[in-house]
């Protein structure tokens, strides 16, 4: 196997990454880095551009449940949403080992790559779970609007959760770290790129409910039991700036760039369960 410093560059999509796997497999080579579309390369010889080709991506995708199992398939899809540094390389490395060992790999409790991916996915799921609670909507012209700043790409999880919770509402969640937004209207949702975002002041009703919530938040604390450390461990400070109970600055948000295009987004794999989805067997 050729191991001299080799870089891949891909378009940043999941299919693109699958094509990197394809390339690595067909050429029997192992890149030392896989760069996203905007990453700066350090490799003097330049990166090899991997073009995204749906047919190749599909071949790889189909091979995962067939050769390594559904659990591995879910893991890889979820790992792609995480903020794990160099997640692309880790996924590639995991898949190569998976093709070698088969489904047994999922039981290798001491495997470094598997461990890193599993931990990253746990972190992703934890953040998604926290945000299901911590997100605060403002109601603006009868649309539910919220902003978040998560480390992981959690919007697909939130899409499922909130479209179920508020089936008859219109809602928008803007992820200002990834510059993407989840938009939902009855009964369809989409995750779309969105880079601009402007705060609009709350109307009277909205302001009144925010004030009521702060009143309740304050009243519910048992003051002789105040425990700042505990609060911050359970609810890290980086979430606070988006939450009504802390920020006078949690202003209502308004989108300046309207995008009405509804594009379907890939479903979040339901981990642990066997599914037959578009890629299922």
Partner 1 sequence: MELNEKLRILGDAAKYDAACTSSGTDRKGSRGSMGSAHASGICHSFAGDGRCISLLKVLLSNACAYDCAYCVNRRSNDVPRASFTPRELADLTMQFYRRNYIEGLFLSSGVIGTPDNTCEKMIAVLRILREEYRFRGYIHAKAIPGADPILIRHLGLLADRMSVNIEMPSSASLTRLAPNKTKKAILAPMDYMSQRIEENSRDLVRYRHAPKFAPAGQSTQMIIGASPETDYHILKLSEGLYRRYGLKRVFFSAYVPVVPHPLLPGADTPPPLWREHRLYQADWLLRFYGFDADELLDEEHAALHPYLDPKCHWALRHSGLFPLEVNRASHEELLRVPGIGAKSAWRILQARRACPLSWDALEKIGVVMKRAQYFLLCRGKRKPGLETRRNTLLAAMMSERERKRYLLESGEVQQLSLFEQETATFLSARRELESLPLPL
- Does position 108 interact with partner 1 (CB under 8 A)? The reply is yes
Nearer to partner 1, 21 or 181 (CB): 181
Give the total of residues touching partner 1 (CB under 8 A): 53
Nearest CA to 33 among 21, 23, 18, 47? 47
Q: Which of 226, 237, 258, 273 binds partner 1 (CB under 8 A)?
A: 226
CB of 148 to partner 1, least distance (A): 11
Measured between alpha carbons, how far is 120 from 62 in angstroms, rounded to an integer?
A: 23
Stretch that binds partner 1, among 5-13, 45-53, 158-166, 267-275 (CB under 8 A): 158-166
Stretch that binds partner 1, among 30-38, 67-75, 167-175, 270-278 (CB under 8 A): 167-175
- Does position 245 interact with partner 1 (CB under 8 A)? The reply is yes
Nearer to partner 1, 180 or 235 (CB): 235
Nearer to partner 1, 11 or 251 (CB): 251
Stretch that binds partner 1, among 34-42, 83-91, 135-143, 261-269 (CB under 8 A): 135-143
Q: Which of 14, 99, 197, 213 binds partner 1 (CB under 8 A)?
A: 213
CB of 143 to partner 1, least distance (A): 11
CA dihedral 155, 158, 164, 167 (to 10 degrees): -60
Q: Is 135 exposed, middle or buried (0-12, 13-18, 19+ CB in 10 A)?
A: buried
**Interface with partner 1 (CB under 8 A):** 104, 107-110, 115, 129-130, 132-139, 144, 146, 164-169, 186-187, 209, 211-213, 215-231, 233-235, 243-245
């Amino acid at each position: 196997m050729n191991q001299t410093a080799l870089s891949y560059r891909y378009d940043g999509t999941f299919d693109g990454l699958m094509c990197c796997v394809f390339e690595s497999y067909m050429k029997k080579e192992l890149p030392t880095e896989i760069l996203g579309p905007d990453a700066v390369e350090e490799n003097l010889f330049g990166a090899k551009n991997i073009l995204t080709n749906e047919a190749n991506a599909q071949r790889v995708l189909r091979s995962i449940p067939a050769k390594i199992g559904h659990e591995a398939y879910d893991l890889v899809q979820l790992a792609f949403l995480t903020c794990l540094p160099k997640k692309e390389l880790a996924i590639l490395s995991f898949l190569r080992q998976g093709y070698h060992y088969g489904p047994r790999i999922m039981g290798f409790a001491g495997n470094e790559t598997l461990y890193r991916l599993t931990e990253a996915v746990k972190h992703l799921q934890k953040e998604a779970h926290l945000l299901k609670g911590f997100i605060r909507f403002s109601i603006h012209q009868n649309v539910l609007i919220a902003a978040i700043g998560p480390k992981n790409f959690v919007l697909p999880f939130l899409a499922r959760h909130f479209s179920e919770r508020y089936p008859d509402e219109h809602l928008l969640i803007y992820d200002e770290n990834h510059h993407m937004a989840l938009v939902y209207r009855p009964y369809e949702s989409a995750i779309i790129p969105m880079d601009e975002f402007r705060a609009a002041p709350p109307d009277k009703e909205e302001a009144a409910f925010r004030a009521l919530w702060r009143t309740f938040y304050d009243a519910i604390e048992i003051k002789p039991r105040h425990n700042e450390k505990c609060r911050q461990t359970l609810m890290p400070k980086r979430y606070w700036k988006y939450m009504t109970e802390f920020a006078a600055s949690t202003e209502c948000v308004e989108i300046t760039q309207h995008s009405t295009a509804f594009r379907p987004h890939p479903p979040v794999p339901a981990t642990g369960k066997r599914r037959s989805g578009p890629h299922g067997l």
